[in-house]
A and B are shown apart, each in its own frame.
Chain A
Amino acid sequence: ETGVTQSPTHLIKTRGQQVTLRCSSQSGHNTVSWYQQALGQGPQFIFQYYREEENGRGNFPPRFSGLQFPNYSSELNVNALELDDSALYLCASSLGAGPEPEAFFGQGTRLTVV
Protein backbone atom coordinates (compact mmCIF):
# COMPACT_ATOMS: atom_id res chain seq x y z
CA GLU A 1 0.00 0.00 0.00
CA THR A 2 1.32 3.42 -0.99
CA GLY A 3 -0.98 5.53 1.17
CA VAL A 4 -2.42 7.22 -1.91
CA THR A 5 -6.15 6.65 -2.18
CA GLN A 6 -8.46 7.42 -5.07
CA SER A 7 -12.22 7.52 -5.27
CA PRO A 8 -14.36 6.22 -6.74
CA THR A 9 -12.74 3.02 -8.02
CA HIS A 10 -15.14 2.68 -10.93
CA LEU A 11 -17.47 5.12 -12.64
CA ILE A 12 -19.80 5.06 -15.62
CA LYS A 13 -20.87 8.33 -17.21
CA THR A 14 -22.76 9.39 -20.30
CA ARG A 15 -21.18 11.39 -23.08
CA GLY A 16 -21.52 15.13 -22.39
CA GLN A 17 -21.68 14.76 -18.62
CA GLN A 18 -19.15 16.06 -16.12
CA VAL A 19 -17.12 13.99 -13.67
CA THR A 20 -14.99 14.64 -10.58
CA LEU A 21 -12.32 12.22 -9.43
CA ARG A 22 -10.61 12.48 -6.07
CA CYS A 23 -7.18 11.69 -4.70
CA SER A 24 -5.78 11.75 -1.19
CA SER A 25 -2.02 12.02 -1.20
CA GLN A 26 0.37 10.14 1.03
CA SER A 27 0.89 11.74 4.41
CA GLY A 28 3.49 14.51 4.19
CA HIS A 29 3.39 14.77 0.40
CA ASN A 30 2.56 18.18 -1.07
CA THR A 31 2.55 17.34 -4.77
CA VAL A 32 -0.08 15.48 -6.75
CA SER A 33 0.12 14.49 -10.40
CA TRP A 34 -2.67 13.08 -12.54
CA TYR A 35 -2.29 10.62 -15.40
CA GLN A 36 -4.64 9.12 -17.95
CA GLN A 37 -4.01 5.54 -19.04
CA ALA A 38 -5.95 4.24 -22.02
CA LEU A 39 -6.25 0.50 -22.46
CA GLY A 40 -2.96 -1.03 -23.57
CA GLN A 41 -1.07 2.25 -23.28
CA GLY A 42 1.30 3.81 -20.79
CA PRO A 43 0.05 6.59 -18.51
CA GLN A 44 -0.05 10.07 -20.05
CA PHE A 45 0.63 13.11 -17.85
CA ILE A 46 -2.38 15.42 -17.44
CA PHE A 47 -1.18 17.98 -14.89
CA GLN A 48 0.52 18.43 -11.56
CA TYR A 49 -0.37 20.45 -8.49
CA TYR A 50 2.23 21.68 -6.03
CA ARG A 51 1.12 23.49 -2.89
CA GLU A 52 -2.31 24.24 -4.39
CA GLU A 53 -0.95 25.71 -7.64
CA GLU A 54 -0.87 24.08 -11.06
CA ASN A 55 2.73 23.19 -11.83
CA GLY A 56 2.80 21.91 -15.37
CA ARG A 57 0.27 20.52 -17.77
CA GLY A 58 0.36 17.87 -20.47
CA ASN A 59 -1.34 17.88 -23.84
CA PHE A 60 -4.92 17.79 -22.61
CA PRO A 61 -7.76 20.23 -23.49
CA PRO A 62 -9.05 22.83 -21.00
CA ARG A 63 -12.09 20.70 -20.18
CA PHE A 64 -9.65 18.74 -18.00
CA SER A 65 -9.16 20.83 -14.89
CA GLY A 66 -7.96 20.26 -11.37
CA LEU A 67 -7.74 21.53 -7.87
CA GLN A 68 -5.56 20.93 -4.85
CA PHE A 69 -6.78 21.62 -1.34
CA PRO A 70 -4.85 22.89 1.71
CA ASN A 71 -4.54 19.32 2.98
CA TYR A 72 -2.93 18.50 -0.42
CA SER A 73 -5.71 16.22 -1.56
CA SER A 74 -6.72 16.83 -5.15
CA GLU A 75 -9.57 16.65 -7.63
CA LEU A 76 -9.60 16.05 -11.36
CA ASN A 77 -12.62 17.43 -13.19
CA VAL A 78 -13.54 16.57 -16.74
CA ASN A 79 -16.34 18.46 -18.49
CA ALA A 80 -18.26 17.50 -21.63
CA LEU A 81 -17.14 13.89 -21.47
CA GLU A 82 -16.25 12.15 -24.71
CA LEU A 83 -16.09 8.44 -25.43
CA ASP A 84 -12.28 8.67 -25.72
CA ASP A 85 -12.09 9.85 -22.13
CA SER A 86 -12.74 6.26 -21.07
CA ALA A 87 -9.56 5.25 -19.29
CA LEU A 88 -7.89 4.50 -15.99
CA TYR A 89 -7.08 7.74 -14.20
CA LEU A 90 -4.10 7.55 -11.90
CA CYS A 91 -3.01 9.91 -9.19
CA ALA A 92 0.55 10.07 -7.88
CA SER A 93 1.84 11.91 -4.86
CA SER A 94 5.37 13.00 -4.06
CA LEU A 95 7.23 15.29 -1.72
CA GLY A 96 8.09 18.42 -3.65
CA ALA A 97 7.82 19.30 -7.30
CA GLY A 98 10.55 18.93 -9.90
CA PRO A 99 13.01 16.04 -9.76
CA GLU A 100 11.56 14.39 -6.72
CA PRO A 101 13.03 10.88 -6.47
CA GLU A 102 9.92 8.83 -6.27
CA ALA A 103 6.24 9.08 -7.09
CA PHE A 104 3.72 6.88 -5.32
CA PHE A 105 0.60 5.91 -7.21
CA GLY A 106 -2.94 5.18 -6.13
CA GLN A 107 -5.02 2.30 -7.44
CA GLY A 108 -6.75 4.43 -10.01
CA THR A 109 -10.29 5.26 -11.05
CA ARG A 110 -11.70 3.37 -14.01
CA LEU A 111 -13.92 5.77 -15.97
CA THR A 112 -16.21 4.44 -18.67
CA VAL A 113 -18.02 6.91 -20.91
CA VAL A 114 -21.00 5.51 -22.80
Chain B
Amino acid sequence: KQEVTQIPAALSVPEGENLVLNCSFTDSAIYNLQWFRQDPGKGLTSLLLIQSSQREQTSGRLNASLDKSSGRSTLYIAASQPGDSATYLCAALSYNTDKLIFGTGTRLQVFP
Protein backbone atom coordinates (compact mmCIF):
# COMPACT_ATOMS: atom_id res chain seq x y z
CA LYS B 1 0.00 0.00 0.00
CA GLN B 2 1.40 3.35 -1.06
CA GLU B 3 2.11 5.82 1.73
CA VAL B 4 3.31 9.36 1.14
CA THR B 5 5.07 11.39 3.82
CA GLN B 6 6.09 15.03 3.82
CA ILE B 7 8.74 16.64 5.98
CA PRO B 8 8.73 19.12 7.57
CA ALA B 9 5.08 19.54 8.53
CA ALA B 10 5.58 23.28 8.90
CA LEU B 11 8.26 25.76 7.95
CA SER B 12 8.70 29.46 8.65
CA VAL B 13 11.43 31.36 6.81
CA PRO B 14 12.38 34.97 6.09
CA GLU B 15 11.82 36.35 2.65
CA GLY B 16 14.59 35.64 0.16
CA GLU B 17 15.65 32.26 1.50
CA ASN B 18 16.01 29.24 -0.72
CA LEU B 19 14.19 26.25 0.71
CA VAL B 20 13.57 22.56 0.17
CA LEU B 21 10.42 20.61 0.86
CA ASN B 22 10.66 16.84 1.08
CA CYS B 23 8.29 14.10 -0.02
CA SER B 24 8.84 10.37 0.39
CA PHE B 25 6.79 7.45 -0.89
CA THR B 26 6.93 3.78 0.03
CA ASP B 27 6.10 2.16 -3.33
CA SER B 28 8.34 3.14 -6.22
CA ALA B 29 5.88 1.76 -8.78
CA ILE B 30 4.47 5.14 -9.74
CA TYR B 31 3.45 6.74 -13.00
CA ASN B 32 4.27 10.23 -11.83
CA LEU B 33 4.57 12.52 -8.85
CA GLN B 34 2.79 15.84 -8.66
CA TRP B 35 3.30 18.88 -6.44
CA PHE B 36 0.36 21.11 -5.51
CA ARG B 37 -0.13 24.37 -3.71
CA GLN B 38 -3.13 24.93 -1.45
CA ASP B 39 -4.12 28.27 0.04
CA PRO B 40 -6.17 28.17 3.26
CA GLY B 41 -9.64 26.76 2.66
CA LYS B 42 -9.07 26.60 -1.09
CA GLY B 43 -8.62 23.92 -3.72
CA LEU B 44 -5.38 22.59 -5.15
CA THR B 45 -3.26 24.32 -7.76
CA SER B 46 -0.93 22.08 -9.71
CA LEU B 47 2.67 23.31 -9.63
CA LEU B 48 4.80 20.63 -11.21
CA LEU B 49 4.35 17.09 -12.49
CA ILE B 50 7.27 14.71 -12.91
CA GLN B 51 6.79 11.58 -14.96
CA SER B 52 8.41 8.41 -13.63
CA SER B 53 10.96 8.52 -16.45
CA GLN B 54 12.03 12.06 -15.59
CA ARG B 55 14.44 13.31 -12.95
CA GLU B 56 13.23 16.87 -12.54
CA GLN B 57 10.92 19.61 -13.69
CA THR B 58 11.27 23.37 -13.43
CA SER B 59 8.79 26.23 -13.48
CA GLY B 60 10.06 29.69 -12.65
CA ARG B 61 11.50 29.68 -9.15
CA LEU B 62 10.30 26.14 -8.54
CA ASN B 63 12.27 22.98 -9.22
CA ALA B 64 11.07 19.48 -8.39
CA SER B 65 13.23 16.38 -8.49
CA LEU B 66 12.32 12.72 -8.40
CA ASP B 67 14.40 9.73 -7.29
CA LYS B 68 12.22 6.66 -7.69
CA SER B 69 14.82 4.23 -6.42
CA SER B 70 14.99 5.95 -3.05
CA GLY B 71 11.30 6.88 -3.02
CA ARG B 72 11.93 10.59 -2.68
CA SER B 73 10.99 13.87 -4.29
CA THR B 74 12.00 17.38 -3.35
CA LEU B 75 10.51 20.74 -4.19
CA TYR B 76 13.05 23.54 -4.27
CA ILE B 77 11.79 27.12 -3.99
CA ALA B 78 14.32 29.79 -4.84
CA ALA B 79 14.29 33.31 -3.39
CA SER B 80 11.11 32.75 -1.38
CA GLN B 81 8.49 35.51 -1.20
CA PRO B 82 5.60 36.18 1.22
CA GLY B 83 3.23 35.23 -1.60
CA ASP B 84 4.67 31.71 -1.48
CA SER B 85 3.03 31.19 1.90
CA ALA B 86 0.68 28.23 1.54
CA THR B 87 0.50 24.48 2.11
CA TYR B 88 2.43 22.38 -0.37
CA LEU B 89 1.21 18.86 -1.09
CA CYS B 90 2.84 16.08 -3.03
CA ALA B 91 0.91 13.20 -4.55
CA ALA B 92 2.02 9.97 -6.18
CA LEU B 93 0.06 8.26 -8.93
CA SER B 94 0.59 4.57 -8.22
CA TYR B 95 0.52 1.64 -10.64
CA ASN B 96 -1.52 -0.43 -8.22
CA THR B 97 -4.40 1.96 -7.76
CA ASP B 98 -4.24 4.43 -10.67
CA LYS B 99 -5.24 7.03 -8.10
CA LEU B 100 -3.42 9.95 -6.52
CA ILE B 101 -2.10 9.26 -3.02
CA PHE B 102 -1.38 12.47 -1.12
CA GLY B 103 0.98 13.41 1.65
CA THR B 104 -0.24 15.51 4.57
CA GLY B 105 1.51 18.62 3.30
CA THR B 106 4.08 21.15 4.42
CA ARG B 107 2.68 24.43 5.68
CA LEU B 108 5.03 27.21 4.59
CA GLN B 109 5.12 30.73 5.94
CA VAL B 110 7.45 33.30 4.40
CA PHE B 111 7.67 36.48 6.44
CA PRO B 112 8.92 39.86 5.17
Contact = CB atoms under 8 A, between A and B. Distances in A.
Tell me, yes or no, whether A binds B. yes
Interface of A: 2, 4, 6, 33, 35, 40-45, 48, 56, 58, 88, 90, 92, 97-99, 101-108, 110
Interface residues of B, number: 26
Contacts of B97: 45, 56
A102 B46 contact: yes
Interface in B4-46: 4, 31-32, 34, 36, 41-46
* Majority secondary structure of chain B interface residues (helix, strand, loop or mixed): strand
B91 to A, nearest CB: 8
A43 B87 CA distance: 12
* Majority secondary structure of chain A interface residues (helix, strand, loop or mixed): loop
Nearest to B32: A101
Given A35-B102, A105-B45, 11 more contacts: A2-B46, A4-B43, A44-B102, A45-B100, A48-B99, A56-B97, A56-B99, A92-B44, A99-B95, A99-B98, A107-B43
B81 interface: no
Contact of A42 (B45, B99, B105): B105
Interface of B: 4, 31-32, 34, 36, 41-46, 49, 51, 89, 91, 93, 95, 97-105
Contact of B99 (A2, A33, A101, A108): A33
Contact of B89 (A2, A42, A88, A107): A42
A58 B46 CA distance: 22
A20 B85 CA distance: 32
